[in-house]
Structure 1
Amino acid sequence: MKKTTLLILLVVFVVSCNKNISKNNNKKQFLTNYVDPFIGTGGHGHTYPGATVPFGMLQVTPVNGISSWDWCSGYHYSDSIAVGFSHLALSGTGIGDLADVLIMPINKEVDISKMPKSRDSLTYKSSYSHNNENASPGYYRVFLDDCNVNVELTTSKRTAYHKYTFKKNDQQSVVIDLGFAINWDKATSSSLQIEDDYTITGHRFSKGWAKNQKVFFVAKFSKPIIDYQLAADNNKVSSQKTVGAKTAAQIFFDNVENSELKVKVALSSVSIKNAKENLEEGFEFESVKAKASASWEDVLSKISIETKTDSLKTIFYTAMYHAHVAPVTFSDKNGEYRKENDTIETATNFTAYSTLSLWDTFRAEHPLLTLTSPDKVSDIINSMLSYYQTKKILPVWTLYANETNTMTGYHSIPVIAEAYLKGITGFDAEKAYEAMKTTMMQDERGLSHYKKYGYIPYNLLDESVTITLEYAYDDWCVAQMAKALGKTDDYKFFLKRSKAYTHLFDAETGFMRGKFEDGKSWNEPFDPKYSNHREHTDYTEGNAWQHSWFTPHAVEDLAKLHGGNEIFTQRLEQLFTESSEITGSNVSADISGLIGQYAHGNEPSHHIAFMFNHANKPWRTQYWSRYILDTQYNTTPNGLSGNEDCGQMSAWYVLSSIGLYPMNPASTQYEIGSPIFESSSINLPNGKTFIIKAENVSKENIYIQSATLNNEPFNETNISHETILKGGTLQFFMGNTPNKKWGTAKNSNN
């Protein structure tokens, strides 16, 4: 009996120890281990798998060399050919550019004087297998089959590091090709110079989506250069420097000492001198890799989640990763950066940023940053105000400091208003307001029509419905900023103009429709499922079903226009249950991730599920937001239902999965949806923590039964940014059937 008792005690002790060990291991589990940079590299996600740091200047990543929509980042998971590794890339955009300063390690001599127009005739390309490829935050590795070279990449904020391991006794060489381009990009001028035995410098000017892109670079090698070949515009060059529209170099190194070659590269928009200043000392690849990983660990830990489902952790932390890739650092170490007009500015007391995909990111990406990185928000706003100083209009979509004028509206405006109203400082509020007001009072991009008619007539400008609705929201944001600054007359003026949506609502069909300049006639014939991509259309990258709901500042009023909450919510339900057929011969490829006619793969749909909260049916917001979370994201390369768009697609997931969404960002309120994690903690920059708990949550238990905020009953369908900043605990009790009384005390307008 004593022996049996001792045996039982020993088993209990061992099991207890194992549990404790397991707990300790979980505590030490790095969040970066849950990030999969290949998510979004397939399908229409358009992400890249290469190495970068949070908001870093460089994105050192593989380039497949194909010019096609799904290769907008330079890489697509369906491919298995590499032409090199570039230092600038776009994360999830719908237009392709960049892939600048292409470097490729090879083990043979090639003719670089021939400048091919496609990758098929590239002499230095190589096949690879995804089995020999991996990536983690701040690190990328691939084995090049044709060259027998193992490639590893990492980066700091302004310096990229390459480590090439060649096969023993193989020739060690790299090709630098400044002429090769993908998608919209085209080199207009470039140069290469062998400065010394270890250094090559040059520039690459190009015209593409960014019409005036100037990149200067320096590359240093861990081994001395023993030979080289230079070429320009299909001719070999015998000197140490070559200049032309398209230049290239092949550089050779000694293969006797060891099989490893390291390269470090820095860029600048200003000069080679600045690129050299941006270049860090040493070739300590592993320490740089560790620092890059640590920088990501810090970002990922800003929101911690608890769930028993590892796949959900992978989706969540990969989304956090993607949401902090862009915007990207643009100013050099000394603060200098180039503007579109070639003037050189100096960012004083802030970092200048570029790659501002504002049509997308104002919706959830920027609101997320107000929680995780408010210091970056003020820097981004200062970057936009710097742009305003030159153009006297706030930016629309900036790429390498160039205005692309891509997409509709002026959504710098909600970003600024949201930041100011959330108490974020570090920028001149009066100057910001001046920029907002001046932008909305000028005449470009349809604003002259908008001011004259109160809406944009379809016969005067394409995409008139989308543009009108977005200007109405921008006006509302200007009004809120004016009110906060005590500018009463401006507040009244812009608030009145923010009702422009009322001109385009057709009560008979229930859709926002194109209206003629006579103020009476609709655009006929009308088919709410019809899509015509970016021309001869009333809607941007979508149809009437997807664009008729963009009144985030006036949901209750929109419900009244429909005839009350019941009709409004019936039509919202129909959006999600209607057949997914899209009509037309030139359907926008951006219409993806369809649930009925709801298109999660493109941003105009992103707020719609949360509108039920404002029409007395919050349980439908809970149902549909959870349905979107469950069906539109997964852990495969095809894990995003549409373009990542510089963080927006992922930011939607990050916030919605913890149960919050900024349907109207400048309201400073977050709508409450359906949290999918047992617990989420927002670790705020002010040192406080806001915890969201979901008791009994499961795949079936998606409905909020009741809630408490700091142990007090909570019956609201939204929560303020101010409340979150105070820290505390919001606790939901979940069940598998709707509680139709919770959150319905207000908003009845039937």
Structure 2
Amino acid sequence: MLRRLSTSLLFATISTLSWAQDSLISYVDPFIGTGGHGHTFPGAAVPFGMVQLSPDNGRSGWDWCSGYHYSDSLIAGFSHMHLSGTGIGDWLDISVMPLEAPLDDTTKGVKIPFSHDNERASPGYYQVTLDNGIQAELTASERIGYHRYTYPQIDTPVVRFDLAFRQNWDTPTETHISILNDSTLVGYRYSTGWAKIQRVYFAARTSAPFVKTILHDGQSASTMTDMAETYERGKGVSAQLLFDGSRHKTIELKVALSMTGYEKALNELNHAKKDRFNAARQTAKDKWEAELQKIKIRSESDELKRVFYTALYHTALSPTLYADADGEYRNAHGDIHTMPNGASRYTLFSLWDTFRALKPLFTLTQPDKYTDMLNSMLAFHDENGLLPVWDLSTWETNTMTGYHAIPVLADAILKDWPGLDAERAYQAMLKSAHQAIRGVPDYIAYGYLPQDKAGGSVTITLEYAFDDWCIAQVAKKLGKTADYATFMNRAKSYANLFDKQTGFMRAKNSDGQFIEPFDPFWSEHDFDKSQYIEGNAWQHSFFVPHDVRGLANLYGGNEGLSTKLDELFSAPSEMHGDNISPDASGFIGQYAHGNEPSHHIAYMYSYIGEPWKTQDRVRQIVDSMYHDGPDGYAGNEDAGQMSAWAVWSIAGLYPANPASGEYVFGSPIADETIFTLPNGKQFTIRALDNSEKNSYIQSATLNGKPYENTYLRHQDMLNGGELVFKMGPKPSKRFGQKPETWPGSDQNRYPNPASR
């Protein structure tokens, strides 16, 4: 026993020393996801920063939601705010572009060719040499974008600010630029789009004086050589800053952002007065290295390392900062608020996606920021009357379904997350569950959402049922007996849509009849008409993560559910319909990894005593749906969720029920994973004899003792220690066979409120 522990300690020491010398940032490729339908951006940011400075191609279209797509060969500018991996394009505020000479027609946009051969990126840094010879370099801090433009031998280098620039949904409504002196300008850009009200303020300072400015208000231009304070206001203001090319070949530029006012942006700029580009780049690099060190893997595959660390990088891009350094912000209503106790306000909550795996990951990786993110959702509730569904620029976009701030808050409360007022959060959860919109009154009245009352009958019913289960668990923890009973009953609503004859969840009208005709392959992307949001009956019928064995009972038992899951993975990979959702992608049979409703399904086998099937499918999904090229994601990266799935699954775990505090075992791809936890402890997962062929768990030990469960509790991780899997080439029909070892067996672990 002592010898085995010593060997383990020696291995850990050698491994730790080798990792200490390994720069993890070198494995991150920000171009992963910029091709295909990944919708990521390659530009510069720091973790969760307000500024995400990246190139835009100037082309509208679904695959340009982030502003950039790898298939393109033109750059129209470098803007300071981007959405990572979403399905709707917005933001791209405060666009800046270096030019060889001033434009004669300042109302026109400009697109400069470039080659990917002359482009590179790493966390916190982006560089491209355009075909006209201008080299652009970008880096960032939380609220400042740093530009460095190196020009060829030209007479008049130009830096253009184009507040009229737009792609996709976004349209400027009012813009303003003021020239304060020969190196400083301020302004704002108001726009409407996915978020109907957006206000972004900026202040910019150049390293060299500009000798002339050309301001354009969208109608006419004015040229100035006297840099006394001047301004332009209109729907599409632009400013061209002209420099003396005989004296200045390289121009550095700092652009600070604020959502409150340009005075605050100017304050931010003044606080960074001495910061230069190289120093900012190094600081950004150091922040990303620290972020990546939170979860480290050991593998002989450099491709796996690139996939893993790039995924971990993508998990730390959103939500994004919205408040100034003093905690003050202006919300979509125009009201100015200050977060208490020096906290930060965040926005960009893609909750339909990220409640599943990203937010549970934050309870391990973001001890310093997650409290503020949670309280940002509560601030949204206080300002808008309900918790957010999809918060962008503090505007409720009402995109997607469910009220999935609830599982996020529930998970945090059940894990006793510090700095979150459980009672305050619970009361906000109750308001969402009793709201007068989004079909909730009909869902309560009928026990399901009738399709003739609102679209999305199946998806919404199943998602509301899960959210209600989450409320019930919090009610139980807080000793609210009556609420617990009410919401546990509502959590069973999924069963009201089950059709035993077909084995699918099917939409019903208010008369209680299933809608005919029925085709489980049918997909309709119009949310008002669709019964299954962004998918079909195959993908959505299994969303019962809170009661998998209850779902199995509807199939006649565990064997019936297992058979149906097998059919899912072997069905033809086709969809029927006139308006098929493009979001359903990454098919294995009818399993669609490119969209979130499928993400828990492979792990469902473990809930019914067949963990080897989970292990087999997880390996297949990782191997086929993730790689290290631009099209390395099977679908939209979705603000960190697609990446979070990979981070968890490569390590060997997954929060299939994201509010249960249980992490279900998959098949670890990495040979070793080390989590550095919020309490400073470490938890290590080791896979012995791990290989492409040895993909099945034969046995497990936790801290040296045999471990029979096919899941790990959150608290077990926080205690620190080591989970060791013995891997083999064939399924083990012993490991995970006892029902008491299955996930979900311990979900009533919170004290019964009646006994208090």
Partner of 1:250: 240
What do residues 420-472 of structure 1 show as CA deviations (whole Å, max 9, x unaligned)?
11121112111100000111111210001111111101111111110010110
Q: Does 1:144 align with 2:134?
A: no
**Conservation of the 8 A alpha-carbon contact between 2:25 and 2:288:** yes
Q: Does 1:285 align with 2:270?
A: no
2:658 to 647, 655, 665: 665
Distance across 1 between alignment mates of 2:393 and 2:290: 27
Partner of 1:587: 580
Q: Does 1:706 align with 2:696?
A: no
Aligned-pair CA distance for 1:112: 4.5
Q: Which amino acid aligns with 1:446?
A: G
Q: Is the partner of 2:190 in helix, strand or coil? A: strand
Distance across 1 between alignment mates of 2:16 and 2:493: 57
Q: Does 1:647 align with 2:633?
A: no
Aligned-pair CA distance for 1:169: 3.9
RMSD: 1.6
Aligned-pair CA distance for 1:494: 0.8
Q: Is the partner of 1:645 in helix, strand or coil? A: coil
**Conservation of the 8 A alpha-carbon contact between 1:277 and 1:333:** no
Aligned-pair CA distance for 1:534: 2.7
Residues 125-144 of structure 1: matches in 2 within 5 Å? Answer: 125-144=111-130
Change (3 A) 1:26 1:613: closer
Distance across 1 between alignment mates of 2:504 and 2:198: 41
**Conservation of the 8 A alpha-carbon contact between 2:526 and 2:579:** no
**Conservation of the 8 A alpha-carbon contact between 2:213 and 2:223:** no
Change (3 A) 1:277 1:608: same
Residues 109-508 of structure 1: matches in 2 within 5 Å? Answer: 109-114=102-107, 116=108, 122=109, 124-146=110-132, 148-237=133-222, 240-279=230-269, 280-349=272-341, 350-508=343-501
1:635 to 628, 632, 646: 628
Q: Is the partner of 1:76 in helix, strand or coil? A: coil
Aligned-pair CA distance for 1:23: 11
Aligned-pair CA distance for 1:500: 0.6
Q: Is the partner of 2:139 in helix, strand or coil? A: strand
Distance across 2 between alignment mates of 1:53 and 1:86: 15
Q: Is the partner of 2:297 in helix, strand or coil? A: strand
Distance across 1 between alignment mates of 2:374 and 2:586: 32
Q: Which amino acid aligns with 2:252?
A: K
Aligned-pair CA distance for 1:168: 2.7
Distance across 2 between alignment mates of 1:332 and 1:158: 8
Aligned-pair CA distance for 1:202: 0.7
Distance across 2 between alignment mates of 1:29 and 1:162: 29
Distance across 2 between alignment mates of 1:197 and 1:208: 34
Aligned-pair CA distance for 1:170: 4.1
2:520 to 517, 520, 528: 528
Partner of 1:28: 21
**Conservation of the 8 A alpha-carbon contact between 1:264 and 1:283:** no
Q: Is the partner of 1:706 in helix, strand or coil? A: strand
Q: Is the partner of 2:630 in helix, strand or coil? A: coil
Q: Which amino acid aligns with 2:178?
A: Q
Aligned-pair CA distance for 1:238: 5.2
What do residues 504-542 of structure 1 show as CA deviations (whole Å, max 9, x unaligned)?
0111111000012122x1010000000010341201000
Q: Which amino acid aligns with 1:304?
A: K
Change (3 A) 1:375 1:24: closer
Q: Which amino acid aligns with 1:259?
A: K
Aligned-pair CA distance for 1:26: 6.0
Distance across 2 between alignment mates of 1:526 and 1:370: 41
Q: Is the partner of 2:309 in helix, strand or coil? A: helix
Aligned-pair CA distance for 1:71: 0.2
Distance across 2 between alignment mates of 1:547 and 1:222: 55
Q: Does 1:71 align with 2:59?
A: no
Distance across 1 between alignment mates of 2:422 and 2:116: 50
Q: Which amino acid aligns with 2:61?
A: S
Q: Is the partner of 1:637 in helix, strand or coil? A: coil
**Conservation of the 8 A alpha-carbon contact between 1:90 and 1:96:** yes
Q: What residue ranges of structure 2 are gaps of 5+ in the alignment?
A: 1-12, 225-229, 745-756
Aligned-pair CA distance for 1:557: 0.3
Partner of 2:37: 44
**Conservation of the 8 A alpha-carbon contact between 2:47 and 2:288:** yes
**Conservation of the 8 A alpha-carbon contact between 1:531 and 1:543:** yes
Change (3 A) 1:410 1:24: closer
Distance across 2 between alignment mates of 1:26 and 1:679: 12
Aligned length: 721
Distance across 2 between alignment mates of 1:283 and 1:427: 35
Aligned-pair CA distance for 1:27: 3.9
Q: Which amino acid aligns with 2:422?
A: A
What do residues 275-330 of structure 1 show as CA deviations (whole Å, max 9, x unaligned)?
11222222411111111011001110101111011100000000000011111011
Residues 500-649 of structure 1: matches in 2 within 5 Å? Answer: 500-519=493-512, 521-535=513-527, 536-649=529-642
Q: Which amino acid aligns with 1:132?
A: N
